[in-house]
């Protein structure tokens, strides 16, 4: 009889497991064995969902929001999202230009699967979020990486984009603030990128803005603000990071109506509408006063500064100062080639496994994000946990010869 992998589709065999989820699973396995593991591998705020959002969910249960919702989301939620875009971003959308999904990841998959044909090229700013490439592969598109480095704060430039465009280019994907680097783009940088795409009318821009409110540089800037390309922008956002609602699973995209209609058609065959109770809670979330997200942002800024200061004690780590999100993405190539009694550190994956097994700190190797010389360090835990984690990392790395 054929082995199990040969019974699976080529599609699933070609798909890589999310390394963030894989590292989190390994850390749980060590914890189950009795080890005190500090898990810095997942991008999840350690805050609880704000009380007024939970109250909205309880009210929805009492009011029997237990029947199938529209695939695109409740009309009043989509209106609330439009109001949020106008109020916070100066962007004008109508409810029929909004699609609510089961998380921003589904929003991204909807857009890619409805626009990308086999062989279409998708430009991806690297480092990139782990799922981008796998979603492109599911659509049978061809990812084309545009590499950046720590020296320019991991920012892709308009000149790099222009050089990467070919007749097969169909889409450009990036996140800002960025997962995994925390990179934030200034308005003039985005305008230069927008002006580049204005010269190439067949290319769509997917802007992942899920970390919008965790921005330490000032006002969030969206590439959708530029009229010369807005009709080709798919803006993705959600409630998970800004409102500590990761487990509620709700994201949304804003785009021209014909793209939203196509995504609605796909989602109707895949999952239908997002959870009714979550949608009612999301109305309260997007209507929240600015103080809710701002309070979390201030705490993340304190944590970022703490981690950067503590990392100065770790020899060989090369860091920059991220402008948003809640990640540090140090260059760790200093440790490649170093050894312990029973292990050679050949790459970031080896280094992460060494630190998981010897320091009991879970991190994610840069290979998962298209940057093999780095590791991703999430500072979404308490100051006490972060301090302990860095001290463990330092001690373990000091053991390497």
For the stretch 90-129, pLDDT in tens is 999 999 999 999 999 999 999 999 999 999 999 999 999 9
Q: 182 in helix, strand or coil? A: coil
Q: Are strands 98-101 and 251-254 parallel, antiparallel or unpaired?
A: antiparallel
At 5 the pLDDT is 65
29: pLDDT strictly greater than 90: no
At 16 the pLDDT is 82
Average pLDDT of the chain is 95
Mean pLDDT value of segment 214-225 = 96
pLDDT band at 3 (very low <50, low <70, confident <90, very high): low
Using a cut of 0.85, tell me whether the model's pTM lies above it.
Answer: yes
| Domains with residue ranges and CATH for the chain | 4-48+291-398 (3.90.1150.10), 65-287 (3.40.640.10)
2: pLDDT strictly greater than 60: no
Helices (H) and strands (E) in the chain, counts: 14, 12
At 30 the pLDDT is 82
Beta bridge partners of residue 252, listed in sequence order: 100, 237
Q: Which residue has the higher pLDDT, 13 or 318?
A: 318
Is the C-alpha dihedral spanning 114, 120, 125, 126 positive or negative?
A: positive
pLDDT band at 343 (very low <50, low <70, confident <90, very high): confident
139: pLDDT strictly greater than 60: yes
Comparing CA positions, the residue from 65, 173, 79, 165 lying closest to residue 126 is: 173
135: pLDDT strictly greater than 90: yes
Is the C-alpha dihedral spanning 376, 380, 381, 386 positive or negative?
A: positive
184: pLDDT strictly greater than 60: yes
223: pLDDT strictly greater than 70: yes
Half-sphere exposure in the Cβ direction for 92 (13 Å, CA): 3
Residue with tokens 């979603």: 135
At 34 the pLDDT is 86
Tens digits of per-residue pLDDT, 227-249? 999 999 999 999 999 999 999 99
At 78 the pLDDT is 98
Comparing CA positions, the residue from 399, 371, 358, 295 lying closest to residue 129 is: 371
Q: For residue 149, say if its preceding peptide bond is cis, omega within 30 degrees of 0.
A: no
Tens digits of per-residue pLDDT, 189-206? 999 999 999 999 999 999
171: pLDDT strictly greater than 80: yes
At 18 the pLDDT is 74
Mean pLDDT value of segment 346-367 = 94
Q: For residue 177, say if its preceding peptide bond is cis, omega within 30 degrees of 0.
A: yes
- What is the Cα–Cα distance from 78 to 379, expressed in whole angstroms? 32
pLDDT band at 268 (very low <50, low <70, confident <90, very high): very high
């Amino acid at each position: 009889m054929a082995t199990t992998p040969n019974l699976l589709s080529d599609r699933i065999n070609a798909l890589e497991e999310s390394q963030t989820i894989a590292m989190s699973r390994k850390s749980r396995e060590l914890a189950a064995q009795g080890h005190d593991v500090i898990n810095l591998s997942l991008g999840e705020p350690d805050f609880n969902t704000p009380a007024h959002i939970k109250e909205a969910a309880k009210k929805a249960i009492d009011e029997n929001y237990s029947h199938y919702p529209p695939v695109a989301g409740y009309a009043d939620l989509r209106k609330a999202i439009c109001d949020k875009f106008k109020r916070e971003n100066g962007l004008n959308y109508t409810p029929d230009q909004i699609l609510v999904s089961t998380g921003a990841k589904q929003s991204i998959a909807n857009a890619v699967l409805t626009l990308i044909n086999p062989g279409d090229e998708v430009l991806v700013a690297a480092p990139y979020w782990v799922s981008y490439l796998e979603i492109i592969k599911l659509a049978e598109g061809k990812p084309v990486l545009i590499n950046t480095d720590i020296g320019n704060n991991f920012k892709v430039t308009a000149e790099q984009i222009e050089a990467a465009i070919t007749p097969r280019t169909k889409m450009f994907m990036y996140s800002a603030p960025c997962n995994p680097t925390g990179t934030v783009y200034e308005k003039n940088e985005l305008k230069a990128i927008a002006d580049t795409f204005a010269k190439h009318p067949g290319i769509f821009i997917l802007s992942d803005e899920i970390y919008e409110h965790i921005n330490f540089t000032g006002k969030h800037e969206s590439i959708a603000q530029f009229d010369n390309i807005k009709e080709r922008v798919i803006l993705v956002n959600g409630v998970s990071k800004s409102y500590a609602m990761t487990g509620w699973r709700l994201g949304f995209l804003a785009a021209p109506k014909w793209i939203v209609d196509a995504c609605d058609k796909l989602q109707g065959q895949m999952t239908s509408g997002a959870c009714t109770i979550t949608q009612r809670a999301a109305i309260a979330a997007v209507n929240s006063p600015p103080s809710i997200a701002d309070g979390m942002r201030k705490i993340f800024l304190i944590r970022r500064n703490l981690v950067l200061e503590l990392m100065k004690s770790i020899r060989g780590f090369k860091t920059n100062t991220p402008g948003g999100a809640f990640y540090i993405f140090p260059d760790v190539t200093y440790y490649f080639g170093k050894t312990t009694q029973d292990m050679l550190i050949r790459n970031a994956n080896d280094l992460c496994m060494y630190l998981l097994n010897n320091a009991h700190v879970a991190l994610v190797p840069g290979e998962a994000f298209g940057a093999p010389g780095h590791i991703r360090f999430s500072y979404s835990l308490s100051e006490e946990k972060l301090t302990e984690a860095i001290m463990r990392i330092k001690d373990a790395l000091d053991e390497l010869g």
